[in-house]
Structure 1
């Protein structure tokens, strides 16, 4: 067996479950906690350390990147088939 073919098969066998697992996670749980505010929805200013609303999220949750990509493709499909 060709070593490059064996490497390609091994790589495909590893990446397929990882990709399908992430797609399933994006379908079941599309939101994740915000990394900047740790899910609280509030951050502090740099100078005075006053609390304020987090700029990256509204309520401590952010849309996953995979779900955002899926939403973009779904919107494009929906608009093109009208």
Structure 2
């Protein structure tokens, strides 16, 4: 495949569109439902019927998206370098 191959161009544009769409999603909706507790914030105890707070989300039912973690880290680095001057 050459870089001017139409199939590789379409694949590159599709990848660019998906990446941009995920970035927009992370910007506007930084949280998603916790997969462990399905967004309820509660988990059943291993033995018995007691309910406990979900450890991964600390009982909120929400987790920060991985893409938003990257955005936050980039902003933190930018702020640290910008204010250093």
TM-score range normalised by the length of the shorter chain = 0.7 to 0.9
Partner of 2:2: 4
Partner of 2:28: 28
RMSD of aligned residue pairs (Cα, Å): 1.3
- Segments of structure 2 that go 5 or more residues without pairing to the other structure are none
Query: What is the aligned residue count?
Result: 80
In the superposition, the TM-score normalised over structure 1's length comes to 0.87
In the superposition, the TM-score normalised over structure 2's length comes to 0.84
- Segments of structure 1 that go 5 or more residues without pairing to the other structure are none
Following superposition of structure 1 onto structure 2, how do residues 35-74 of structure 1 map, counting pairs within 5 Å? 35-58=35-58, 59-74=60-75
Quote the Cα distance in structure 2 between the aligned partners of 1:11 and 1:49.
50
Moved over 3 A (4+): none
